[in-house]
Amino acid sequence: MPLWVDGEKVMANPNIKINLDSLKEKREWKRHKVKDGSNQFRIGPPHGETSNGYPYRKWQIIWGLNDPVTGRQRPYASSMTTEKRCPVTEYVAQLTKKADDMKSAMKAAGSPESEIKDRLKDLSELISQLRPKTTYVYNGIDKGGEVGLLELKTTAHKKMKAEMNQYVQDYNQDPTSLNAADDDSGVWFNVIRAGTGFDTEYDVKKCQTKVKNATGKVSFEDDRSPLPEHIVENYDTLAYDLATIYQIKTYEDLAEILEANLPHIVEACPDAGLDEAVSAPVIATPAPKKQAKPLGTKKVETKLADEDDDATPVATLAAGEDDDFMKEAEAILRS
């Protein structure tokens, strides 16, 4: 099995019997927080033994359940991504139907909206808490030369993919390339966050630099400036295997965890009790270029058109939930 030493791949000595991973220091997880305003990143190429060729990984995370063993609240990866079904999603669907039925009955009885909202407050909050949240995780490299986990909400992720696809069309080059040659270069992206709470908006654009030609005319070019040398040489040891940052549970595992949590859930919110067991799975069905760009000569291998992006309709993060979600994610990543 190959090892990486100072950025170089070497073959392991078969006479060494100990597990070399046991000698490594525990890695400190680095996460890039998308702050208000501009946030400039290069996106790293696909990485890891379990990589599927995409530069990102889609995760649907469940919050609000306690570990049956420790009793501590922790996040769980939904089995919807791997098995196209999830017991928590099914339970949430049933709770949502119950809430809708209760609301309709109260409206028919002439109850005012304020009374209906107050009556359903606890159930609505529980539904929002248990509903799996969707996030997309990239290996991001900031201007300081640090590789970290860059988590984007659905809106920003779709805009990032659109910019990447446009880059491939313009240059026939991989936007996640670690190189900075004329015929093979990645590009810097600007992730822009504006607003607060439910008014938060995200945008993604390629970074551009101002260039003045010999006659003094100013134009703008995509920022393809190089990465620090240590990133290029050691990316394989600095990047994260995006498929392993959360522990994957099977449908049956999550069903047992949910069952263990139900007594406490119903005690805190009596309306969460159901007359029947959780039912069967619920699964719903460029601007003109101003100048010539240096074209690549190799086929771009990095995958961007992920059919799974929109295949499973699980609720995305509401803008107001973003900071809490990221704090909880950081807590589990460091545990």
Residue 293 lies in a domain: no
Residues 6+ apart with CB under 8 A from 160: 43, 138, 152, 189, 191, 204
Residue 187 lies in a domain: yes
Q: Which domain holds residue 219?
A: 36-285+319-333
Residue 9 lies in a domain: no
pLDDT one-digit tens code per residue, 34-93: 999 999 999 999 998 888 899 999 999 998 899 999 999 988 999 998 899 999 999 999
What pTM, to 2 d.p., does this model score?
0.72
Question: By CB neighbour count within 10 A (0-12 exposed, 13-18 middle, 19+ buried), where does 184 fall?
Answer: middle
Judge whether residue 125 has pLDDT over 50: yes
Give 138's pLDDT tier (boundaries 50, 70, 90).
very high
Residue 83 lies in a domain: yes
Judge whether residue 27 has pLDDT over 90: no
Beta bridge partners of 38: 192
What DSSP line would sit under 251-269, residue for residue?
Answer: HHHHHHHHHHHHHHHHHH-
The number of distinct structural domains making up the chain is: 1
CATH number, domain containing residue 68: 3.90.198.10
Tell me how crowded residue 165 is: count the other CB atoms within 10 A of its CB. Answer: 14
Judge whether residue 266 has pLDDT over 90: yes
Residue 274 lies in a domain: yes
Give 276's pLDDT tier (boundaries 50, 70, 90).
low
Phi, psi (rounded to 5 degrees) for 275: -75, -15
pLDDT of residue 170: 95
pLDDT of residue 283: 36
**Residue in 276, 303, 290 with CA at minimum distance from that of residue 97:** 276
Helix, strand, coil shares of the chain as percentages rounded to 5?
35, 25, 40
Residues 6+ apart with CB under 8 A from 177: 45, 184, 185, 186
Residue 200 lies in a domain: yes
Give 214's pLDDT tier (boundaries 50, 70, 90).
confident
Judge whether residue 240 has pLDDT over 70: yes
Which of 50-64, 149-163, 185-199, 271-285 shows the lowest per-residue confidence on average (mean pLDDT)?
A: 271-285
Which of 82-96, 185-199, 321-335 shows the lowest per-residue confidence on average (mean pLDDT)?
A: 321-335
pLDDT one-digit tens code per residue, 100-110: 999 999 999 99
Residue 256 lies in a domain: yes
Q: What is the mean pLDDT of the chain?
A: 82
Residue 219 lies in a domain: yes
pLDDT of residue 217: 87
Give 269's pLDDT tier (boundaries 50, 70, 90).
very high
pLDDT of residue 299: 67
Count of positions (residues) in the chain:
335
